[in-house]
Amino acid sequence: MSYKRADDILPESILENLQKYVSGEMIYVPKKKECRKRWGSDTGANEKLRLRNERIFDQYQKGISTKELAQRYYLTEKSIQRILRNMRTKPPMER
């Protein structure tokens, strides 16, 4: 992430006001909440995890143990248990 010089983009009155609080330091200005994206939305990571968790849940329902699932998916048994707990609480349409 690159930065922009405040004196290049801000009006002088705002820059002077900002310099009362921060002068010569780098600050981060976050996006507005309505402009933020969900984690993984650009890379598709959240969709991949959703599909993986569905497979884990389906395999568990077919009788595969949490220990075996942990080995298959390179996760801890606690992680498998958390996934199963979360999948149980979601309605079928949201899975």
User: pTM to 2 decimals?
Assistant: 0.59
Domain count, the chain: 1
Residue 17 domain-assigned (yes or no): no
Does residue 36 or residue 53 have the better pLDDT? Answer: 53
pLDDT tens by residue, 47-82:
999 999 999 999 999 999 999 999 999 999 999 999
Give the range of the structural domain holding residue 70, as residue numbers without chain letter: 45-94
Residue 6 domain-assigned (yes or no): no
Residue 30 domain-assigned (yes or no): no
pLDDT tens by residue, 11-22:
999 999 999 999
pLDDT at 95 over 70: no
Distances (CA, A) of 12 to 16, 19, 41, 48, 71: 6, 10, 37, 47, 60
Q: Strand runs (DSSP E) across the chain, as ranges?
A: none
